[in-house]
Amino acid sequence: MKNKSIYDIAIVGATGAVGQKIMDVLEKRNFPIGSIKLLSSKNSAGKKINFFNEEIIVEEATPESFTNVDIAFFSAGGSVSEALVPAAIEKGAVVIDNTSAYRMDANVPLVVPEVNETDIKNHKGLIANPNCSTIQMVTALKPIQKAYGLNRIIVSTYQAVSGSGKKAVDELDKQTRNYVNKEETKPEVLPVAGDKRHYPIAFNALPQIDVFQENGYTAEEMKMINETKKIMHLPDVKVAATCVRLPFFTSHAESIYIEIDKENINPTDIWKVLESQEGVVLEDDIQTQTYPTPLSAMDKDEVFVGRVRKDLDCDKGFHMWVVSDNLLKGAALNTVQIAESLIKNKWL
Amino acid sequence: MKNKSIYDIAIVGATGAVGQKIMDVLEKRNFPIGSIKLLSSKNSAGKKINFFNEEIIVEEATPESFTNVDIAFFSAGGSVSEALVPAAIEKGAVVIDNTSAYRMDANVPLVVPEVNETDIKNHKGLIANPNCSTIQMVTALKPIQKAYGLNRIIVSTYQAVSGSGKKAVDELDKQTRNYVNKEETKPEVLPVAGDKRHYPIAFNALPQIDVFQENGYTAEEMKMINETKKIMHLPDVKVAATCVRLPFFTSHAESIYIEIDKENINPTDIWKVLESQEGVVLEDDIQTQTYPTPLSAMDKDEVFVGRVRKDLDCDKGFHMWVVSDNLLKGAALNTVQIAESLIKNKWL
């Protein structure tokens, strides 16, 4: 591609929660936009969305939509990506896909810029954005792995309903109002909108995110396991995950246990490497009860780490608590950072 | 003690949440009560409480209160136990203490009847009831340990606000109403009522339960670590815990990773030993999305286990999800079960 200073972009899934967040992030970071196409399903086409002080009419996404598009952000579900990403690439767009459709494809880079930015260089028209719970974990663990090696990860997650889409957010809101108004409604969305059985989410904890796989793990847990190995280039690192949906709206939190390679490392050493990592903020002081929470991380760009402490039995073992806004670094922000890297490094 | 068929009991902390639950459980299980004294601080003395269809006036707890008491249930905080338990023992009562005051005292049995009932036999007038999050974990792990050995436990908890007392329950209720009514109030109770800093609990997750220790762990985490070793008689088992307070009212959930001794064990083997354990209910079927949740375990006596699966990297590693009502098996029920064991085995 010739050297441009502004870029023609398309956003597929512009009316969805992540699509909207992508627009917010593009505005906030003053992304060098030439033209913009907001694309959606037939149902949402015709809607008007304000973007960079301009009213834009949402169009139906078709294979033809991607003519003269430099960068196409996809965030409308895996089936839409499977249907339209090949056409977008063929028309010459570089696609950044926020769905799970192509993440584990060996030909598709899966990227968190702080962790494996140079993988972007090898793209063949498509870069995949990882799962939200994976992004914040690898962002926090990368500097530790770089300094001290990494053999094992055991993570239990505390995940916000917004990771399951607008209907899940509405369901928590509704059930919360039901509690206050002493009403009752039937759960219809969570844990997984399309699955057979639904549980209340208000004042509850659901140990299922996404559908179950034959091996007893959920798809969300397998994403964390497989994507972590791919992004970190550590095919042999041991990873185990338990993913749990909880009654809060924004930010995922993670209780992470790791085993590093090096002996005699202390929490203060871990602090140092975390503090040196762009995109990571250390919030860890037990004297002042300082640690991140889902509410404190909301609307912020960074990955926050607290409660760093050494395992009491294993010299190479450490525990920590990692929190980030699942719609920002976990989705929209990381997507835009990939686009910025494409431009900055002339990898378009 | 001579063979009696009914027993004179006292409840210290009768106006508190656990004290009330102890009365509920005594009634429900038709405990063989002769006389009953309901005791409290000076502030709550004079209140009337209905018990076994009789109105009983709460009296101030003093060293003299324990004359002619066979069994005294203490549940009014560590400092009250420290002040009055010695007097109660001296007066001839057998004390079952629900606080942390004497749990780690080598002379005091710390008991979950399903796990180490025979330890009760060695009591010297005092038996300690373990921490709520510990009780449900050891109840679930005991049959596995008995069948296959146990080398390691890594647990992340999902704990209800009722574990932090009535003020914490009221705070979650209030903040939930604030959300619906678009009001705001300052957090004043959680994570720890007496600690310096407070965070909102509604729509949030707080990685602090009880105060911090010098080693970076919270008191709650150290309780889980130390009490587990003592109850299970496994001083060398590796235990690590991360304890998190969440916005639900009742039941604690736990994401538990264990390493057993034996090779080539499968989840179905674990299921079998769990099913054979009294007090444990297996709720584990991914086909029907069956697993326990805090709401489903509420008001039930048992410890519920689901999501049992083998670690993908470690043949001896297993993950599971354990849920129980923190006020019942986690507190009042276990306390009453200890009393029943004292009677049944003639260990009073």
pLDDT surpasses 70 at B3: no
Closest approach of B110 to chain A, Cα-based (Å): 22
CB pairs under 8 A between A and B: 164
pLDDT at A2: 52
- Tell me what pLDDT residue B94 has: 98
Work out the burial of residue A40: count CB atoms within 10 Å of its CB; fewer than 13 is exposed, 13-18 middle, 19 or more buried: buried
Site from B255, B291, B315, B316 to mutate, A interface, most A CB atoms within 10 angstroms: B255
Residue percentage of chain A with pLDDT more than 90: 97
Task: Give me the helices (H) in B237-346, please.
Answer: 267-275, 294-297, 333-344
DSSP bridge partners of B324? B252, B303
Query: For A267, which of B179, B216, B286 is closest by C-beta distance?
Result: B216
Number of residues that make up chain B = 348
Is B69 marked as binding a ligand? no
Token pair, residue B225, equals: 């670590």
pLDDT tens readout for residues A6-16? 999 999 999 98
Shortest Cα distance from A103 to chain B (angstroms)?
20
End-to-end CA distance of chain A, in Å? 7
Interchain pair A205, B294: CB under 8 A: yes
The verdict on a CB contact (< 8 Å) between A204 and B309 is no
User: Which of helix, strand or coil describes residue A284?
Assistant: coil
Distance CA A137, CA A134 (A): 5
Of the candidates A137, A141, A140, A146, the one whose C-alpha atom is nearest the C-alpha of residue A241 is: A137
What does pLDDT average to over chain A? 97
CB contact under 8 A, B257 and A154: yes
| Rounded alpha-carbon distances, angstroms, from residue A98 to A71, A95, A327, B125, B232 | 13, 9, 11, 63, 47
Residue A330: closest CA among A300, A292, A306, A308: A300
- Active site members of A: 132, 252
Residue A280 CB contacts under 8 Å (≥ 6 apart), including other chains: A114, A139, A140, A143, A274, A302, A303, A304, A305
Using the 8-state DSSP alphabet, how is residue A287 labeled? G
User: Residues A126, A95: contact at Cβ < 8 Å?
Assistant: yes
The mean pLDDT value for B271-284 works out to 98
Q: How many beta carbons lie within 10 A of that of residue A234, not counting itself? A: 18
Report whether B339 contacts B175 (CB < 8 A): no
For chain A, strand residue ranges (E) read 7-12, 33-40, 48-51, 54-57, 59-60, 71-74, 94-97, 126-128, 152-158, 238-242, 252-259, 280-282, 303-310, 317-324
What would you measure as the largest C-alpha separation in chain B, in angstroms? Answer: 62
Please indicate whether, in this complex, the C-beta atoms of A246 and B312 are within 8 angstroms of each other.
no
pLDDT per position as a tens digit, A296-321: 999 999 999 999 999 999 999 999 99
Which residues 6+ apart lie within 8 Å of A195 measured at CB? A211, B289
- Is a pLDDT exceeding 70 seen at residue A208? yes
Arithmetic mean of pLDDT, A149-168: 97
Please tell me the predicted confidence (pLDDT) of residue A95: 98
Residues facing A252 on adjacent strands: A324
Q: pLDDT tens across A61-97, in order?
A: 999 999 999 999 999 999 999 999 999 999 999 999 9
The pLDDT, as a whole number, for residue B2 is 52
Is B246's CB within 8 Å of A246's CB?
A: yes
C-alpha to C-alpha distance for B169 and B220, rounded to whole angstroms? 18
What would the pLDDT profile of B240-249 be if each residue is shown by its tens digit? 999 999 999 9
pLDDT of residue A1: 53
Pairing of strands B303-310, B252-259: unpaired
Which pLDDT belongs to residue B86? 98
The pair of three-digit structure tokens given for residue A67, joined into one six-digit string: 């003519």
Query: Partners of B321 in the beta sheet?
Result: B255, B306
Domain boundaries defined on chain B = 7-130+331-344, 134-326
Is residue B317 a contact partner of residue B238, using CB atoms and an 8 Å limit? Answer: no
Place of tokens 């991914």: B286
Q: How many whole angstroms from its chain centre is CA A121?
A: 21
* pLDDT tens for each residue of B157-172: 999 999 999 999 999 9
Using CA coordinates, name the residue in chain B closest to A250. Answer: B203
Q: Which residues pair with A285 in a beta bridge?
A: A290
Q: Would you place residue B155 in the very low, low, confident or very high pLDDT band (cuts 50, 70, 90)?
A: very high
- Asked if the domains B7-130+331-344 and B134-326 are classified in one and the same CATH topology, the answer is no
Taking residue B43's Cβ as centre, other Cβ atoms within 10 Å add up to 9
Q: Which of B204, B207, B306 sits opposite A207 (nearest CB)?
A: B306
Residue B39's H or E segment, with its range, is: strand B33-40
Cα dist from B141 to B174, B229, B272, B286, whole Å: 36, 12, 13, 21
> What is the three-class DSSP state of A269?
helix
Token pair 């736990």 in the structure block, residue: B254
Give percent above pLDDT 70 in chain B.
Answer: 99
> How close, in Å, is residue A45 to chain B by CA atoms?
33
Interface test with A, best of B152, B153, B154 (most A CBs within 10 A): B154
- In degrees rounded to 5, what are phi and psi of residue A39? -120, 150
Model confidence over A216-262: pLDDT tens digits?
999 999 999 999 999 999 999 999 999 999 999 999 999 999 999 99
Query: What per-residue string of b and e applies to A43-56 under the rule 16 or more CB within 10 Å gives b?
Result: ebbeeebebeeeeb
Q: Are B229 and B138 in contact (CB under 8 A)?
A: no
Tokens found for residue A260 = 């590093």
- Alpha carbon of A39: minimum distance to chain B alpha carbons (Å): 32
Mean residue pLDDT across chain B = 97
What digits encode the pLDDT tens for the residues B28-87? 999 999 999 999 999 999 999 999 889 999 999 999 999 999 999 999 999 999 999 999
Q: What are phi and psi of B113, to 5 degrees?
A: -50, -40
Residue A3 has pLDDT above 90, yes or no: no
* φ/ψ of residue B62, rounded to 5: -135, 170
- Residues B90-118 pLDDT 10s: 999 999 999 999 999 999 999 999 999 99
With cut-offs at 50, 70 and 90, classify the pLDDT of residue A17: confident
CATH 3.40.50.720 fits B7-130+331-344, yes or no: yes
Cα–Cα distance for residue pair A348/A121, rounded to 1 Å:
8
Q: Give the domain B134-326 fold.
A: Dihydrodipicolinate Reductase; domain 2 (3.30.360)
Considering only CB atoms, A176 lies closest to which of B179, B288, B293, namely B179
For B233, left (φ over 0), alpha (ψ -120 to 50), or beta?
left
- H/E stretch holding B55: strand B54-57
Q: Which residues of A are part of a known binding site for NADP(+)?
A: 15-18, 43-44, 162-163, 326
Cβ separation A253–B205 shorter than 8 A: yes
Dihedral angle sign, alpha carbons of residues B75, B78, B84, B89: positive
Is B107 one of the annotated binding-site residues? Answer: no
Instruction: Collect all residues of chain B within an 8 Å Cβ-Cβ radius of residue A246.
Output: 158, 205, 246-247
pLDDT at A185: 84
CA A112, distance to chain mean position in Å, is: 9
Q: Coil, helix or strand for A236?
A: coil
The least confident of A198-202, A223-227, B183-187 is: B183-187
| pLDDT exceeds 60 at position A264 | yes
